[in-house]
Structure 1
Amino acid sequence: MRAVVVGLLLLGLCGSGAQGEVQETETRDAGEETTKQTTPDIWAEVRALRDMVVELKVELRNVEATVKDSESQVDELKTELIVTKMQVEQLQRETSDLQTRLSSSETELLLSKSRIEQLERENAEKPKVAFYTALTDARDVGPFNTDITLKCSKVFTNIGDAYSPHSGFFTAPVRGVYYLQFTVCGHKAGLMGVYVYKNSQRIMHNGEWKEEAGLEFFTNSVVLELMAGDEIYLVLPSGYSVFDNSDNRSTFSGALLFTL
Structure 2
Amino acid sequence: MLQSVFTWLLTPLSGANEHHVATWAAWHGRLMVISWAVLLPAGVLAARYFKVLPHQSWPAELDNKTWWRAHQTLQWGGVLLMTAGLALAWCNASDASSLARAHGTLGWCIGAAGWLQIAGGLARGTKGGPGDQRCKNDCTSGSLRGDHYDMTSRRVAFELVHKVLGTGAILAALFAIATGLRVADAPRWMAVVLASWFCLLGALAVRWQGQGRCIDTYQAIWGPDVAHPGNQKQPIGYGIQRHTASTWKRRWRTHRHD
Structure 2 length-normalised TM: 0.21
Looking at CA atoms only, which structure, 1 or 2, has the larger radius of gyration?
Answer: 1
Structure number with the bigger relative contact order (C-alpha 8 A, sep ≥ 6) is: 2
Structure 1 length-normalised TM: 0.21
Q: Which has the higher helix share?
A: 2
